[in-house]
């Protein structure tokens, strides 16, 4: 009698094991029990195999169907978040639309139907790799900020990127109202996004960074997932004329202020071109040694300073310039506006301009004897044509 019981148990175990898989997941065929119904001929295969560990975040996940067509594929992580994907080849394959996150367990459920309409299902679970080397992107502008019409999205990566297409694909920029926004790489560690023309005031911009699990270079993976939103404020563009020594401030196309200025003296001429305010400092120290000018100057308390380039060009208050404003170019390359020591007087031109500016405002310099500023020297990609930007 014991032998009969053992034999029955063995038959039961075989029936519960399912069929059609290749060790890739548990297959469950509807109507394949012992009630005499027909068994589906469809075979679902899930790669990677059930229980797999240290799975690559890209290219490893694939679901296929033989002798039938996939009708449903569901992939979820441990928090229940679904992975989007596409069934192709008439139901022969399913692949994810994006990369997977690192160090994450995923569960896969897939269903296929054969020519007779009978279904077969398979389930699997696997865990992605935990990277030893990672990178993140430091971005501007800040979440929740209101910025000027010239502000690009600029992301600087902590490691040089050799798979730029994969990284760029993991960054989604949407606007309201909708406008085309395209990315441009400066070298292998910086990616900027901007529209063809300056942003329209009031535009809402949302950037989603989905870098977790992206292989930016061999063996180096992103570890960042973040959503950043900002708003475009009013349109303020100020034009500095190095020849007439004046700056005209236009807001929403209308002149609101004309300010006497000084720019770079011969040999230290100010860059020409479109420059974006990237940093605002109520007071800062300016030392010529930090920009290659040796000990020519060291001013501990420069007031109302707003950065225009990474190389050290500012538009700032100047309390030592005497009668140069509106008359002569006397600086080491910056744009100077009349100010007082300590910057306490709100009525002076430098204070007015500082208090009426925001990060992302545009300052255009013309008629200087220097060349146009490089697009990657600060947030100054507007000095590239749209054709150059998108190629």
CATH number, residue 159: 2.60.40.3710
Decide if 15 is inside a domain.
Answer: no
The Cα angle at residue 173 between residues 168 and 178, in degrees rounded to 5:
140
What confidence score (pLDDT) does residue 293 get?
Answer: 72
Same-domain status, 295 and 384: yes
Domain check: are 188 and 298 in the same one?
no
**Within a domain: 28:** yes
Residues near 33 by Cβ (< 8 Å), separated by ≥ 6?
15
Residues 152 and 225 in one domain: yes
Identify whether residues 240 and 324 lie together within a single domain.
yes
Pairing of strands 236-241, 362-366: parallel
- Is 60 part of a structural domain of the chain? yes
110 domain residue, yes or no: yes
Co-location of 196 and 283 in the same domain: no
Domain count for the chain: 3
* 248 shares its domain with 375: yes
Same domain, 259 and 169: no
C-alpha distances in Å from residue 65, one per residue of 19, 42, 44, 283 = 13, 7, 5, 67
Query: Do 250 and 207 belong together in one domain?
Result: no
| Residues 159, 359: Cα–Cα separation, whole Å | 27
Could you tell me the CATH number of the domain that includes residue 107? 2.60.40.3780
Calpha distance 55→100 (Å, rounded)? 10
Q: What CATH number corresponds to the domain at position 368?
A: 2.40.440.10
* Same domain assignment for residues 228 and 248: no
Whether residue 375 is contained in a domain is answered as yes
Q: What is the distance of C-alpha 41 from the center of its chain?
A: 46
Residue 157 maps to a domain = yes
- Do 286 and 381 lie in a common domain? yes
* 82 and 143 co-located in one domain: no
Query: What is the C-alpha separation between 259 and 336, in angstroms, rounded?
Result: 10
- 240 and 227 inside one domain: no
Query: Of 276, 237, 307, whose CA–CA distance to 382 is shortest?
Result: 276
- The string of DSSP codes covering 193-261 is EE-SSPPPTT-EEEEEEE-TT-EEETTEEE--EEEEEEEE---EEEEEETTTTEEEEEETTEEEEEEEE
User: Is 202 within the bounds of a domain?
Assistant: yes
Residue 124's beta-bridge partner residues? 108
Among 127, 153, 178, where does a domain finish?
Answer: 127
Structural domain for 61, as ranges: 22-127
Q: Using an 8 Å Cβ cutoff, are 99 and 222 in contact?
A: no
Domain-ending residue, one of 94, 127, 160: 127
pLDDT of residue 295: 67
Sheet holding 133-135, edge to edge: 133-135, 220-222, 215-217
User: What are phi and psi for residue 263, nearest 5 degrees?
Assistant: -120, -165
* Residues taking part in catalysis: 316, 334
SS3 at position 332: coil
- The span from the CA of 200 to the CA of 198, in Å, is 6
**Domain boundary at 85, 107, 127, which?**
127
Q: In the prediction, which pLDDT does 25 show?
A: 56
Place of tokens 């560990």: 53
**Residue 2 placed within a domain:** no
Give the mean pLDDT per block of 10 residues along the chain (391 residues).
36 32 48 62 98 98 98 97 97 97 98 97 98 98 98 98 98 98 98 98 98 98 98 98 98 98 96 98 86 75 97 96 95 96 96 98 98 98 98 90
């Amino acid at each position: 009698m014991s032998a009969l019981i053992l034999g029955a148990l063995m038959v039961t175990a075989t029936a519960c094991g399912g069929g059609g898989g290749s060790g890739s997941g548990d297959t469950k065929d509807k109507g394949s029990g012992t009630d005499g119904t027909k068994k589906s001929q469809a075979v679902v295969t899930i790669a990677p195999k059930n229980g797999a560990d240290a799975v690559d975040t890209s290219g490893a996940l694939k679901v296929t169907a033989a002798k039938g067509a996939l009708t449903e594929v569901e992939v979820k992580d441990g928090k229940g978040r679904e992975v989007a994907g596409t069934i192709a080849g008439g139901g022969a394959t399913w692949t994810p639309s994006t990369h997977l996150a690192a160090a994450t367990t995923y569960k896969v459920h897939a269903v296929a139907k054969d020519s007779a309409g009978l279904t077969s299902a398979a389930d699997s679970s696997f865990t992605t790799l935990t990277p030893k080397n990672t990178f993140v992107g430091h971005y501007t502008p800040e979440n929740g900020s209101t910025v000027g019409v010239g502000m690009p999205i600029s992301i600087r990566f902590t490691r040089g990127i050799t798979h730029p297409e994969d990284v760029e694909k993991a960054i989604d920029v949407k606007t309201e109202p909708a406008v085309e926004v395209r990315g441009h790489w400066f070298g292998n560690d910086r990616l900027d996004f901007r529209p063809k023309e300056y942003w329209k005031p009031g535009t809402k911009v949302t950037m989603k960074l989905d870098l977790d699990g992206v292989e930016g270079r061999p063996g180096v993976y992103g570890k960042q997932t973040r959503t950043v939103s900002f708003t475009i404020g009013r349109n303020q563009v100020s034009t500095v004329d190095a020849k007439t020594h004046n700056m005209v401030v236009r807001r929403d196309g209308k002149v609101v202020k004309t300010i006497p200025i000084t720019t770079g003296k011969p040999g230290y001429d100010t860059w020409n071109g479109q420059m974006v305010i990237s940093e605002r400092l109520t007071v800062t120290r300016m030392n010529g040694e930090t920009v290659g000018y040796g000990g020519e100057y060291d001013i501990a308390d420069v007031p109302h300073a707003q950065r225009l380039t990474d190389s050290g060009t500012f538009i700032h208050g100047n309390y030592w310039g005497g009668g140069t404003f509106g008359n002569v170019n006397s600086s080491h390359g910056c744009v100077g506006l009349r100010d007082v020591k300590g910057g306490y007087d709100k009525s002076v031109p430098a204070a007015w301009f500082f208090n009426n500016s925001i990060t992302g405002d545009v300052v255009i310099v013309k008629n200087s004897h220097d060349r146009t500023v490089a697009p990657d020297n600060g947030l100054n990609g507007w000095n590239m044509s749209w054709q150059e930007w998108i190629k």
